[in-house]
A and B are shown apart, each in its own frame.
Chain A
Amino acid sequence: DADVTQTPRNRITKTGKRIMLECSQTKGHDRMYWYRQDPGLGLRLIYYSFDVKDINKGEISDGYSVSRQAQAKFSLSLESAIPNQTALYFCATSAAGTGELFFGEGSRLTVL
């Protein structure tokens, strides 16, 4: 089983719908991250969490919210999806103090 699991792997939805992407990890890491990747571009950080009580905005947090339900779970929500949120979303984890991130397999979201 993967150390970092994302669900769903693929989702097609309509404009205005609420969407939740879930991430769970078995690494025991404190740090969790949500990144977004658009075609031909690098990854951009949406939100990150250093522990259950610590949530921080990344460079592109507008239109997104997150919830850290437990050390192992970090969810990303789109309250009202719009077409330009169509992208590949990655969850990642890391241990405190390290720069080695472990990524999930990605969630491909299409907003029509």
Chain B
Amino acid sequence: DAKTTQPTSMDCAEGRAANLPCNHSTISGNEYVYWYRQIHSQGPQYIIHGLKNNETNEMASLIITEDRKSSTLILPHATLRDTAVYYCIVRLPLRGNEKLTFGTGTRLTIIP
């Protein structure tokens, strides 16, 4: 699976959109981008994933560049409860390759 690079930390004002970048320049054509978050010391929580097209769900939007070498997770209206560590993970969707490798992620702090 391809390696990802994320900023160590970011701040965002409450109510504003939080945009979390991820670089995955060595991604292969079939690898998906996954995002998880970990609030305090709770277990990580799945947010969203995508291959090429932009994806949106009730939690967030995922924007993947045309060359697929980077992506951005967008939390449209950040709240204090969105303060967490966000992990960007790249995975080849093969049966038997379900395990995920978590890096150190981006620590997002929402400022009141």
Interface-forming stretch among B10-18, B72-80, B87-95?
A: B87-95
Residues of A within 8 A of B34 (CB): 99-100
A86–chain B nearest beta-carbon distance, Å: 14
Instruction: Establish whether residues A101 and B44, one from each chain, have CB atoms under 8 Å apart when the complex forms.
Output: yes
Which of B32, B43, B49, B95 is A103 in contact with, Cβ under 8 Å?
A: B43
Instruction: Establish whether residues A45 and B101, one from each chain, have CB atoms under 8 Å apart when the complex forms.
Output: yes
Interface-forming stretch among B22-30, B63-71, B102-110?
A: B102-110
Residues of A within 8 A of B43 (CB): 4, 90, 92, 103-106
CB within 8 Å: A-B pair count: 61
Residues of B within 8 A of A65 (CB): none
Give the size of the chain A interface in residues (CB under 8 angstroms).
29
B41–chain A nearest beta-carbon distance, Å: 6
Point out residues on B near A: beta carbons under 8 Å.
32, 34, 36, 41-46, 49, 87, 89, 91, 93-96, 98-105
Point out residues on A near B: beta carbons under 8 Å.
4, 31, 33, 35, 40-45, 48, 50, 58, 88, 90, 92, 94, 96-106, 108
